[in-house]
Amino acid sequence: MPPSSPHSPLPDHPGPRRRSLLGAAAAAPVLASLAGAGSASAAPAPASDGAAAGRRALPGGGDLGPNVIVFDPSTPNIQGRLDEIFKQQESAQFGTGRYALLFKPGTYHGLNAQLGFYTSVAGLGLLPDDTTINGDVTVDAGWFDGNATQNFWRSAENLALVPVNGTNRWAVSQAAPFRRMHVRGGLNLAPDGYGWASGGYIADSRIDGQVGPYSQQQWYTRDSSVGGWLNAVWNMVFSGVEGAPAQSFPEPPYTTLESTPVSREKPFLYLEGDEYRVFLPEKRTDARGVSWGHGTPRGTSLPLSGFYVAKPGDSAAVLNQALEEGLHLLLTPGVYHVDQTVDVRRAGTVVLGLGYATLVPDNGVTALRVADVDGVRLAGFLVDAGPVNSATLVEVGPEGASADHSANPTTVQDVFVRIGGAGPGRATTSLVVNSRHTIVDHTWVWRADHGEGVGWETNRADYGVVVNGDDVLITGLFVEHFNKYDVQWNGERGRTVFFQNEKAYDAPGQAAIQNGSVKGYAAYKVADDVTEHEGWGLGSYCYYNVDPSIVQHHGFAAPNRSGVRFHGLLVVSLGGNGQYECVINDTGSPTSGTDTVPSKVAQYP
């Protein structure tokens, strides 16, 4: 068992993660004065012209429901309401509560928005600085004795913060994005007491002061600006970040790309006057720094009337009817049980979730499927496997998809997948990407290692992410605990910037993970016939606590050819519970007995 006392905050003193023992309309262009010309790649198919609206049986727009709570600077007792929701959600890791806390543009004083599970906080301005909180948006780990390794499923977006003591605390692990934020001060990524923390994703944000990861074992920051970065533990990755540390892997373990090859920021809800709209940022290539830095966000805008505003209790048939009638989907907070696949067939469709809206397939169907069309945007929701095995949970493009989407790719952002934990769940494969040029930007695909319905066969899930499409880019890939390959990449010219993985804790013995003549399935497998692939900043960890004698041959497997390249690889055995013999293929030193020390390969081949 880990010690109950917190670890030292010293940068060179990480603590191993041991969760299983610790817890159980047509796109309307933005006004020229704001945005200039929108990118052609951002324009959806018509969805809100008058004729189409006249034919609809389902309405567009409407009330956002009781779990979307909207504040303005004159709202009385904002702090009391924030505290009430936090008290309910602080430790409700597998509960059904879902909340979006939205702040209208203006200035707020003296607030501390503590965020528990399934709680999102966001500003409703077009720019982060339109909504300024003189106070904090805080994630800490008091509920878990100072251990932040289970601080999942919460988010902050589109706000400016002026922290009370100069530094905001954001102690999170997986599935907790910090997007489009302006911190006028520093940012501390560790819990109070500097206990364990293991996750992290920042995008399109500006932190004026220093970012202090302290005990954070890995982190990915994309297209942002920081005033400084304090330390690195195992795997810190940056792409397109102004002020990032220089490339230095393996020591200190900074993997730094000057720019992000392709990015398109997540859609977001905002107010134009008294009307809600959804902003769709344009695609950027070789991106660096925030997308909103000059006060002129570029992209397009959709009225809320172009969306079916879904509520928990809406059936899959209703969601599909809305899509067929040309509406986009706004999933308000709650749990949606679907007995048929939600089919996204129209180019440019937006499916945007608020407050961790959750889709659960009840009868083994695929929860959501996208056709091989341009410009679909999936963002901000959770898919929770149901008790009947699904062959797949999310499918982007049909099998054999081959259309060129380079000008207008599909994006999958803050879409998280879970198998077990909240109850029985099974799925053979969680996320399958078949469409070319898809951008997956921040996902956590998780076969649960704690909670309800957890066991080697109970929440069986062989594959986490399978990429069949060519030219797919993933920025911020977190995949954990699958029975076989966590990631299997079959497409050509794939690229991954940052990968974090833990092999399944609960393997009953060596035979259970044996892959033919190979000891264990790699965390990240590139198919033998792939000729071009590249990855930066990838880590795999093992913690075989059921049988600590298990040997994993390697964390990464790929064809040995010049077009397949990796930069900044590492494997770690947590406390000697299982061992790696190599890092990638037959290259790299074995892990070191009971010492939780990474084995690293700076470049491969």
Residues 384-419 pLDDT 10s: 999 999 999 999 999 999 999 999 999 999 999 999
Cα–Cα separations (whole angstroms), residue 310 to 56, 348, 354, 380, 602: 15, 19, 10, 14, 47
Which among 302, 334, 336 is positioned nearest to 319, based on CA atoms?
336
442 beta partners: none
> Pairing state of beta strands 487-489 and 524-526?
parallel
Q: What is the pLDDT of residue 397?
A: 98
502 annotated active-site? yes
| Residue 49: DSSP 8-state | -
> Pairing state of beta strands 350-361 and 556-557?
unpaired
The beta-strand segments (E) located in 170-318 are 178-179, 182-183, 186-188, 201-203, 206-212, 218-222, 225-229, 235-239, 254-257, 260-264, 268-272, 275-281, 283-287, 299-303, 307-310
Q: What is the pLDDT of residue 354?
A: 98
Q: What is the pLDDT of residue 56?
A: 81
d(CA 111, CA 107): 11
Q: What is the pLDDT of residue 295?
A: 79
Q: What is the pLDDT of residue 53?
A: 59
H helix count then E strand count, the chain: 6, 45
Which among 159, 124, 133 is positioned nearest to 279, based on CA atoms?
124
| 245-246-249-254 Cα dihedral, nearest 10 degrees | 20
Q: Which residues of the chain have pLDDT under 50?
A: 1-50
d(CA 406, CA 123): 31
Identify the three-state secondary structure at position 88: helix
The catalytically annotated residue of 90, 258, 502, 532 is 502
Q: What is the pLDDT of residue 199?
A: 87
Q: Centre a 10 Å sphere on the Cβ of residue 92 and count the other Cβ atoms it contains.
A: 15
Q: Centre a 10 Å sphere on the Cβ of residue 63 and count the other Cβ atoms it contains.
A: 9
Q: What is the pLDDT of residue 296?
A: 76
Instruction: Give Rg (Cα) of the chain.
Output: 22
Which among 333, 335, 336, 327 is positioned nearest to 304, based on CA atoms?
327
d(CA 92, CA 86): 10
Q: What is the pLDDT of residue 47?
A: 40
Residue labelled with tokens 């956590």: 444
Are 583 and 538 spatial neighbours (Cβ–Cβ below 8 Å)?
no
The vertex-589 CA angle with 584 and 593, nearest 5°, equals 120
Q: What is the pLDDT of residue 25?
A: 33
Residue 549, classified by CB atoms within 10 Å of its CB into exposed (0-12), middle (13-18) or buried (19+), is: exposed
Q: Would you list the DSSP string of 518-584?
A: BSS--SEEE-TT---EEEEEEEEEE---S-TT-EE--SEE---STTEEEEEEEEEESTTSSEES-SB
d(CA 331, CA 357): 6
Identify the three-state secondary structure at position 161: strand
> Pairing state of beta strands 299-303 and 275-281?
antiparallel
d(CA 129, CA 131): 5
Q: What is the pLDDT of residue 1?
A: 29
Residue 161's region, left for phi above 0, alpha for psi from -120 to 50, else beta, is beta
DSSP element (H, E) containing 510: helix 510-513
d(CA 176, CA 219): 11
